[in-house]
Amino acid sequence: MEEVGQIWDRWRVKGLGDPWGYGEPSLKRVHRRVFRLNDKIASLEAEIDNAKAELEYHRSINDDAQRDAAVGNYIDREEAGATAADVRRFESAIARLQAKRDKLVEKRDHLVGTLGA
């Protein structure tokens, strides 16, 4: 029975190149993973930018609500509490997204390092 290497050499000698696309499979896999990670990172960065823009909007509303609460009645104070909660919610969402992005960047950098080695 022929060894796998001999079969491979026989295909290469015939000039067919790599008929199954298995040449350096681990490198191809790493490249695909790096590209997928780059896509995920870009998507997360776009999501972070959108969340930051919305956070600025909520901060503006919260500033107005806090001023109204200082001179207004109990309804204004309730609204001020709700808007402050919205700001905190967006800040924590942005922090989670940034942590997720940082983890993916670290993973990507590790994979890129294995390509160079």
Domain ranges of the chain: 25-116
Separation between Cα atoms, residue 53 and residue 50, nearest integer Å: 5
Q: Tell me the whole-structure pTM to 2 decimals.
A: 0.71
Contacts of 1 (CB under 8 A, 6+ apart): none
DSSP 21: S
> 117: how many CB neighbours lie within 10 A of its CB?
4
DSSP 84: H
The 10s digit of each residue's pLDDT in 41-74 is 999 999 999 999 999 999 999 999 999 888 888 8
The 10s digit of each residue's pLDDT in 79-117 is 999 999 999 999 999 999 999 999 999 999 999 888 776
> Residue 29 has what pLDDT?
82
Task: Report, in angstroms and rounded to the nearest whole number, the Rg of the chain calculated over CA atoms.
Answer: 27
Task: Determine which of 25-29, 31-35, 75-79, 106-110 has the lowest per-residue pLDDT on average.
Answer: 25-29
As assigned by CATH, the class of the 25-116 domain is mainly alpha
